[in-house]
Amino acid sequence: MIIDISRKLNNQTPNWPGDTPFSYSMTWSMEESSSVNVGKITTSVHIATHVDSPFHFHSNGMKVDQLPLDVFVGDALVIDVTNKSEIRVNDLENHDIESVRRVILKTNAWLDETKFPDEIPLLDPALGKFFKENGIELLGVDLPSVDPLDSKTLDTHHALHDHGVHILEGLKLSHVEPGIYRLTALPLFIEGADGSPVRAILEPLNIGG
């Protein structure tokens, strides 16, 4: 069983305010006497479900084509933190995260896919150190960012990076139960990029963890 946890990309997909929106259009069309249909896309790499490379917020950080792919494939623990305005270490301490390398936080704070959220829960930068101590190498969230939408310092981005934790944002998790899954969320092989859209899926391993 495959559970799609990606947000749909179309011409109505909400983008980060001021960033490049997603657009798909036909370059050649069989309806206009071409032998094939060929489309083109224009988009920010930070739209819908996507990976942040460290270069996104660190001038000397790794770019998308340099990221270790094994981080984005493997066991992941989905933890339900719905209705929390702040997510801190003590919200995760009672979960067995030492058995996985990846943690996915289900906040349910971005349910309307047609609109960019006005506000999102706060993720405490202290999570970076906590994840490193427990062997976590990837954090996934159902939010457009791991930092407040108006943040200029991106403290949580930097804290995660400083502790070796990669970032997967914009997941769709409203239909996903807490538990352990096999995650696949590979970024595109875009040379020099600061991020990449992904098609993210989960395969159940042990629901209820």
Give me the active site residues, please.
56
Q: What is the SS3 assignment for 169? A: strand
CA 187 to each of CA 16, 18, 51: distance values in angstroms, whole numbers, following the listed order? 19, 23, 6
Determine how many CB atoms are found less than 10 A away from the CB of residue 38: 11
| CA–CA distance, 138 with 187 (Å, rounded to integer) | 13
Q: What is the SS3 assignment for 178? A: coil
Q: Nearest to residue 159, comparing CAs of 54, 66, 75?
A: 54
Question: Tokens 């801190």, residue?
Answer: 88
Q: Nearest to residue 91, comparing CAs of 83, 180, 153?
A: 83
Q: What is the SS3 assignment for 85? A: coil
Evaluate whether 85 touches 196 at the Cβ level (below 8 Å): no
Residue 195: Cβ-neighbour burial (10 angstroms; 0-12, 13-18, 19+): buried
